[in-house]
Structure 1
């Protein structure tokens, strides 16, 4: 018997072919008032998928309900874990904590399917918990700016796949995206451009707080990145005295030749694709006064534990200067009460702050000597989302590599299973307005006719 499709693959899923739970407009959601966030999330999921707006009831008022969806927090088990039991008579989602309940609700939303004349949830028992606590997705708003509404939609979509951290790439050669009171020229003079001449933009501090709050409501932590000491051409527009002249290598000239645009010039906005040419002045104390202001303010604005300091593709910085800079700035980030995060190249620094977390870019595992550069520090991967729905979906579903049992430890962790389960999400994603790319090799599900309310509540 085929198992219901769930992404990420759960730790344990069992189905015995029993009669499904009939979902109608009269189905109540039974939940205590203190877990209203989970209740509202489920209401929204079901309404988007089916058109049904379910009422909610307090547990004390629901003893006589024959058929109900019950949400509860038990408080025992691994962090972020949940249990989901569906029978013909009831649906019970039991989370160890608020995050676990949220993830159980997301799984339940994936199980809703059309039935003759209505909607149903197949009888199933799921016991689930994450394999890794850090499950990160990246959004680059520096090369192409995205407004707050778009970022919040991205949070909503990726948190449903059980991501826990949103890595915001806030600064790069093409633009500076976060308003800072200590250095106002950064957004006044360095935020108006994007790659290819697209409109720029920036987040006010209220915008940034709104993003953080929205992420927090979905159990996601924002990880802000201020990319240093390279990827800093935008700084030259606001504080040119802190920037070295661009290093125009043959590689930079090739990129300009192949992708168009102009060669970078200090104090001139840059909208090209080349990287690695820019650098702050490593031996100038004014640079570190600037960074104390910038990183200090970003740290104060960000409640999460992480502060990403970049460190990648610094072709315009000598190895000696890079080593000095990374050691000093990683210690600065730590002194601000944050765990420094840096790209894998930072692992070469001899005086790296010991608490620094390393991040491989562009690869699932280290290749071409990246593991040697990363040396011994704790490392995490990243799923780098760019223009957003079409490139991030179905790609973001690969989040199951961080949530689900290891490949080989579960029969669900095969390409064939993954492709089938992702394909089954097509109707849900379509109802949510997710403009995913229907890649070849995935059997995308098509619903001939949407279900209708049974009307027999």
Structure 2
């Protein structure tokens, strides 16, 4: 008896004896209101059936959704047979994830629809399961962000990391520093229009994410990636530090090299820096993160800290120590890219985010392990596996290739989080995050093309049992299971990349 396809792979899935549950327009949905509404929406998208949820108790045939406390956080159970489908979550998030799994189980049966007889017990491997969207290189409006939240939540991600500032633009309105959006938000890569989120926009994103059991992690990248800050407040920024390679890259793009105080539309990285020894810089950091902390109910504020090539290493270490302490003093947990891991004085609660390769190079793993040695944890984002903006193939129209060349779906899947950094285990890993940088990404269709199906591989690394601990945790199983999601993704309006690596189901 074959198992139904579920992505990410659950902790336990057993095909049950007996007939499938027949789903039709008269199928009642009883139980938790929010979960019932989520299920009703996805059933309608997938099948065209307009079910009517009820908050009463289940009586006889139907779908029952409920929360029964006591299990692991975010865990759920599904039991389906010919008479009923019962989804139980240990908490509201677990019930929501159970609904997402149930939506994947719905299959065409003749002229109708059914849910196979099955028992699923499931819980996440890691507490933090993130996606990152770069809205600085190219700005993405609120509706696009909300659509990406829906897509990510359907694969059981629970964190949206927003990269809100970079050399090309500043994207969040702050009352304490109004010139950031007045002067530094209007540009993007390649001369495309910029934009920014008003405080009301940001609140809408945060609330929408919460309704899908996701937190928002805002990132203000510093001390590098800060040219836009210098456009708004030139007294805070150093002059660009350009190497010959940077100048040559700018020339190849046909875009002027960065000039202090002037908007920048290229993709060169590493040339900008804040003034490390000026107290006005730390007043700025206190203003920015203080206001952002009040707008962000989630526990994390991301201070960046990557590719600060224009900053002296000793100055960099001093800077990230002070910036992380400012965030910690606000009652938030700082996150920094792995370069900050060996900085003396780094706030001891600071979470590290590793963006090196699956096989580390240049001592990146040693630096990243500094966070663990400091008593904190790591988020793993190996660029040559889960950077969703990497090209699928050398001739693909979208994406980049710097992370060890193009990233196939198989390569995106075939890595194990506990094997990346020597000397750490699952207890040292907060989770996995799949970033989407936007140098070439302009629209929701672009996001879909680059994310799907590779985002599902990242979801499995974050949620499912470790490689070798489940018969499903292998490439051959994954490619079959993800291929079976094609009809669901299509019905949800996801313009996924129909990779030839995957045997796609068409109905």
For the aligned pair, the TM-score class normalised by the smaller chain equals over 0.9
Q: 8 Å contact 1:360–1:366 — kept in the other structure?
A: no
- 1:380 equivalenced with 2:379 (yes/no): yes
2:35 corresponds in structure 1 to: 38
Asked if residue 390 in structure 1 is aligned to residue 449 in structure 2, the reply is: yes
In 1, are the aligned partners of 2:224 and 2:305 still within 8 Å (CA)?
A: yes
The Cα of 1:281 is off from its aligned counterpart by 0.6
Query: Closer, same or farther in 2 for the Cα pair 1:53/1:363, shift >3 Å?
Result: farther
* Higher RCO, Cα 8 Å, sep 6+: 1
With 375-384 and 143-152 compared, the bigger mean Cα shift is at: 375-384
Q: Secondary structure at the match of 2:287?
A: helix
Shift of 1:428: 0.3
Post-superposition offset of 1:365: 6.2
Contact 2:66/2:88 (8 A) holds in 1 = yes
Q: Distance in 2 between matches of 1:58 and 1:392?
A: 36
CA distance in 1, matches of 2:482, 2:359: 23
What are the residue-to-residue correspondences of 1:43-192 with 2, within 5 Å? 43-60=40-57, 62-63=58-59, 65=60, 67-192=61-186
Within-5 A mapping of 1:277-292: 277-292=271-286
Match in the other structure for 2:9: 9
Is 1:282–1:325's contact at 8 Å kept on the other side of the alignment?
Answer: yes
**C-alpha separation between the residues in 1 aligned to 2:362 and 2:132?**
23
SS at match of 1:245: coil
Asked if structure 2 preserves the Cα contact closer than 8 Å seen for 1:279 and 1:317, the reply is yes
TM-score by length of 1: 0.95
Shift of 1:440: 1.8
The answer to which of 356-365 and 159-168 deviates more is 356-365
Shift of the alpha carbon at 1:375?
3.1
Contact 1:247 1:316 in 2 (8 A): yes
Give the conservation status (yes or no) of the 8 Å contact 2:129–2:463.
Answer: yes
8 Å Cα contact 1:20/1:122 also seen in 2: yes
SS of the residue corresponding to residue 78 of structure 2 reads strand
**Alignment partner, residue 425 of structure 2:** none
The alignment's TM-score, normalised by the length of structure 2, stands at: 0.85
Task: Give the corresponding residue for 2:328.
Answer: 334
1:410 is aligned to 470
Which among 177, 193, 200 is matched to residue 206 of structure 1? 200
Structure 1 residues 81, 365: closer, same or farther in 2, change over 3 A?
farther
Deviation string, structure 1 residues 363-420 (Cα, Å, up to 9, x no partner): 4564431111123311112201243111111111021111000000001000001111
State the shift of 1:28 in Å: 0.4
Query: Is 1:215 equivalent to 2:209 in the alignment?
Result: yes
| Pair 1:193 & 2:187 matched | yes
Match of 1:273 in 2: 267
Matched, 1:23 2:23: yes
Partner of 2:205, secondary structure, is helix
Contact 1:14 1:125 in 2 (8 A): yes
Q: How much does 1:258 deviate?
A: 3.5
How far is the alpha carbon of 1:234 from its aligned partner?
Answer: 0.3
Determine helix, strand or coil for the equivalent of 1:228: coil
1:7-64 Cα distance to aligned partner (Å, 9 max, x none)? 0000000004521110000000011xxx31111100001000001111122334x43x
Give CA deviations for 1:109-140 in whole Å, capped at 9, x if unaligned: 00111111111111111000001111111010
| Structure 1 segments of 4+ aligned residues over 6 angstroms from their partners | none
Secondary structure of 1:40's counterpart equals helix
Residue of 294, 303, 307 corresponding to 1:300: 294
Distance in 1, matches of 2:186 and 2:473, equals 44
Are the counterparts in 1 of residues 219 and 304 from structure 2 also a CA contact under 8 Å? Answer: yes
CA distance in 1, matches of 2:213, 2:168: 31
Partner SS state of residue 74, structure 2:
coil
Q: In structure 2, do the counterparts of structure 1 residues 248 and 121 end up closer, same or farther at CA, with 3 Å as the change threshold?
A: same
Q: Distance in 2 between matches of 1:14 and 1:419?
A: 20
Residues 80 and 103 in structure 1, CA contact (< 8 A), matched pair in contact too: yes
**How many Å separate the matches in 2 of 1:57 and 1:213?**
24
Match for residue 491 of structure 2 among 421, 431, 447 = 431
Residues 85 and 367 of structure 1: CA distance in aligned 2, closer, same or farther (over 3 Å): farther
Q: Distance in 1 between matches of 2:208 and 2:51?
A: 23
8 Å contact kept, 1:180–1:294: yes
Aligned partners of 1:158 and 1:342: how far apart in 2?
Answer: 22
> Which runs of 5 or more residues in structure 2 are unaligned?
372-376, 381-432, 442-446
Structure 1 equivalent of residue 460 of structure 2: 400
Is 1:441 matched up with 2:501? Answer: yes
Q: CA deviation at 1:236?
A: 1.2
- Distance in 1 (alpha carbons) for counterparts of 2:204 and 2:39: 22
| Whole-Å separation in 1 of the counterparts to 2:174 and 2:20 | 54
CA deviations over 1:305-364 (Å, ceiling 9, x no partner):
101000000000001110110111110110111101000000121111110000012545
